[in-house]
Amino acid sequence: MAQLLIEQHTGAVSLDDVRGDIDATLERHLPGGLLAYRWDGDVLRITGPGADGTLEFDGGLLRLQASLRPPASMLRQAIEHKIRAAFAEAFPLDGSGRS
């Protein structure tokens, strides 16, 4: 099993400031329902073929933690790259490009 930890600064003060951006990013980058995700209070729970994880907001920082099993563990680098690219698009350091 492979562990994945990705953090992204958002520049936001609260989860309410970015929840819509997170939802829009998931819809844009994960069409077709490959992964299931649902908000459980302030934690986004994510499940899919070979993956279980959470996305949490902590003082302007998004923290994604996931456990990857086959087949997802075999695609760890590609998954990590796609998530980082989606986060960077939704939350660029210069503040531009927010949905």
Between the CA of residue 37 and those of 34, 55, 64, 94, what are the distances in Å?
10, 10, 13, 28
Which pTM value belongs to this model? Answer: 0.83
Instruction: Give the domain 2-90 fold.
Output: TATA-Binding Protein (3.30.310)
User: Environment class of residue 71 by beta-carbon count within 10 Å: exposed (0-12), middle (13-18) or buried (19+)?
Assistant: exposed
Whether 7 contacts 66, CB under 8 Å = no
User: What pLDDT digit, counting tens, does each position of 18-46 carry?
Assistant: 999 998 888 888 766 778 889 999 999 99
Percentage of the chain beyond pLDDT 90 is 55
Tokens of 69: 């099993």
Q: Is the pLDDT of residue 56 over 90?
A: yes
